[in-house]
Amino acid sequence: MKWPEEYWKHAALNFGQVLHGLRHFFSHPDMDAMAQRGSLRHHALSAGLRGKRLANDLFFTVAPPHWHHSREELDFMTRFSTAHWFAAGYAAWSFTEDGGRETDFTGLDRRWDPRCKE
């Protein structure tokens, strides 16, 4: 039965995203264009955006992945360990699209996550 494995790995991914959001709560790359990084306005704008995303990530930490992922996505999830998925949530910038580890960190912004504007 793959359901428990899919659920657990999905929860680990989203919990990693929660911790990433907490770590960078007062700084978000999307707010860099709206306010000077490090300013009170930047902190406030970042906290507003991160707060919304934290609520979303907490919800999806407990929500069954079958509600919003395809069978193909769930099958892909089982190819990697739970620790891998936690790391992919916490440090998405260190992974490639195919689930491998990134090797070139030139110009890397560790505040980034896949929902950031390009």
Residue 99 lies in a domain: no
Domain that holds residue 53: 3-94
Residue 22 lies in a domain: yes
Residue 8 lies in a domain: yes
Q: Between the CA of residue 93 and those of 15, 44, 75, 97, what are the distances in Å? A: 16, 24, 22, 10
pLDDT of residue 114: 85
pLDDT of residue 102: 85
Residue 18 lies in a domain: yes
How confident is the chain (118 residues) per 10-residue block, as mean pLDDT? 90 97 96 96 98 97 94 92 95 86 86 85
Closest CA to 8 of 108, 83, 110, 88: 83
pLDDT of residue 113: 85
Distance in angstroms (rounded) separating the CA atoms of residues 11 and 109: 25
Domains of the chain: total: 1
Element housing 58 (H / E): helix 40-62
Residue 103 lies in a domain: no
Residue 39 lies in a domain: yes
pLDDT of residue 1: 65
Residue 61 lies in a domain: yes
Residue 104 lies in a domain: no
